[in-house]
Amino acid sequence: MGTSKGSYATKALHRGTSLDEEEILERGSPRRETTWDDLPEIVQDSILAKIPLRDLFRARLVCRRWDSLIHCSRFQQTFDEVSKGLSPYPLLLNYIGSDIVASFFETSSPTWMRLPSTNFCGGGTRYTSVRAGAGGLLCLIKARIYDDESSSSDEDEDVEDDSIIVCNPLTKCWRELPPTNYKFYDFHVTHMVYDESTKVYQIILAGVQSGAAYTISEIYDSSTNAWRIVDTRLPPNVQLASCLRYSSAYCDGILYCVAWDERNKGAGVIAYNIDTGEFSDFVYRTPGPQCLQVVGCGGKLFVVVNSSSILELLPGSKSFQILARKPQQVSAGCSGEQFPCKCVATQDSIMHFPGNNPCREIVVYSIHMGRWSTVPNYHPFYTLPIATFSFKPSLGATV
């Protein structure tokens, strides 16, 4: 029940206050609204870590404190904990002169979100390219430049070697790795492995040495900051496919790569043991020249054949089983391709991105649901190259 005006007047008379003042005292002071500054810092960090990455970078413009969050170890840990369960994203690469502008595909939106430019990595050349990535880090290779002047210069003059850079595009931290022991003429395999518990990463390179016809490989370990030479020999008449167009997948210490069988004119997937540096014979082989993409998803290995069939590899028995075939109604929407789709695995799905195709749709196969679907590309430059690896933003990944 409410308090009568008479009781307020009696109390006011005894206290020497007015009727209105006494009513405020009885009911209590007006409640002050809780502001952002009233929240504990850990709560503020949790809120900011959950907003979309694009909005997070916009929020940095609000004040100096928010701008410094990216480099705060406490917030980095909170951000990575919040995003631990999120799926990695397909990455689109746009090369503008010496600058690389990357965008990742947020499937829940769905839309492309732009990452900060990589031109902070000590400057680039127009031959700089993104070759691999893992754990929120990107591996860039700055290729040596050949032109008329350099080819006609003195033979004794030093020639600048390729340089390999690892960077975190969110924190803008980067480092140039020590030079490789071999001088590679071309890279067929460039793969990056990241251990989230130790924050140690490895980079696997396999390619052709200048002046040699056989494949060589080296492995970089961030814990030792050194390259390890591996005595690599491919099986006879086998050639690795280019890492710029064909993907590779890592599982339990084994790297699975796409390769060509030159004798039988077919394609297949071979396994590379990172510890011993040995390539096995084909784990999976096609009878003819078919296009393959190998991806890892949810701890399992899959091979996409001709952008239409998905096979699950069973590495222990070197066998496979057909998981799904693309329905005709989905295939019809992606007709007229001059190049095969790029296939990128997220946490639960395999996404097929068209080559240089007027079709703007992205075909998605959900492994958990066993269902095909399509989503609009949404990117105005849909012919730009898609990376052969997925990308998961991280603030705590160090170079």
pLDDT for 350-379, tens place per residue?
Answer: 988 876 554 567 888 998 899 998 887 766
What backbone torsions phi and psi does residue 247 show, to the nearest 5 degrees? -90, 165
Give the helix ranges, DSSP H, for the chain.
Answer: 5-15, 19-27, 41-50, 53-59, 64-67, 73-82, 148-151, 328-332
- 393 or 5: whose pLDDT is higher? 393
Which residues are CB-contacts of 123 (< 8 A; sequence separation ≥ 6)? 98
Looking at the predicted structure, is the pLDDT value of residue 156 above 70? Answer: no
The domain ranges of the chain are 36-84, 85-145+161-391
Task: Please tell me the predicted confidence (pLDDT) of residue 111.
Answer: 77
% of the chain residues with pLDDT over 90: 13
Q: How far apart are CA 220 and CA 192, in angstroms?
A: 9
Looking at the predicted structure, is the pLDDT value of residue 227 above 70? Answer: yes
Looking at the predicted structure, is the pLDDT value of residue 14 above 60? Answer: no
Taking a C-beta distance cutoff of 8 angstroms, is the pair 335, 354 a contact?
A: no
Looking at the predicted structure, is the pLDDT value of residue 332 above 70? Answer: no
Q: What is the mean pLDDT of residues 310-337?
A: 73
Taking a C-beta distance cutoff of 8 angstroms, is the pair 378, 111 a contact?
A: yes
Structure tokens that stand for 141 in this block? 């290779």
Q: Which residues of 58-81 are buried (b: 16+ CB within 10 A; e: fewer)?
A: eeeeeeeebeebbeeeebbebbbe
| DSSP structure class, residue 143 | P
Of 61-65, 84-88, 197-201, the range with the highest mean pLDDT is 197-201
Q: How far apart are CA 191 and CA 239, in angstroms?
A: 17
Which residues are CB-contacts of 176 (< 8 A; sequence separation ≥ 6)? 122, 163, 164, 165
Of 86-100, 247-261, 275-289, 364-378, the range with the highest mean pLDDT is 247-261
206-220 pLDDT tens trace: 887 765 667 788 999
16-49 pLDDT tens trace: 444 455 454 555 555 667 777 778 888 888 888 8
- 173 or 118: whose pLDDT is higher? 173
Task: Please tell me the predicted confidence (pLDDT) of residue 166.
Answer: 94
Taking a C-beta distance cutoff of 8 angstroms, is the pair 91, 389 a contact?
A: yes
CATH of segment(s) 85-145+161-391: 2.120.10.80
Q: How far apart are CA 345 and CA 390, in angstroms?
A: 7
Task: Please tell me the predicted confidence (pLDDT) of residue 152.
Answer: 39
Q: How far apart are CA 110 and CA 44, in angstroms?
A: 27
The single-letter code of the amino acid at 46 is S
Task: Please tell me the predicted confidence (pLDDT) of residue 24.
Answer: 47
**Look-up: residue for tokens 């007047």?**
9
Looking at the predicted structure, is the pLDDT value of residue 70 above 90? Answer: no
- Read off the pLDDT band of 167 (50, 70, 90): very high
What backbone torsions phi and psi does residue 372 show, to the nearest 5 degrees? -95, 145
- Read off the pLDDT band of 137 (50, 70, 90): very high
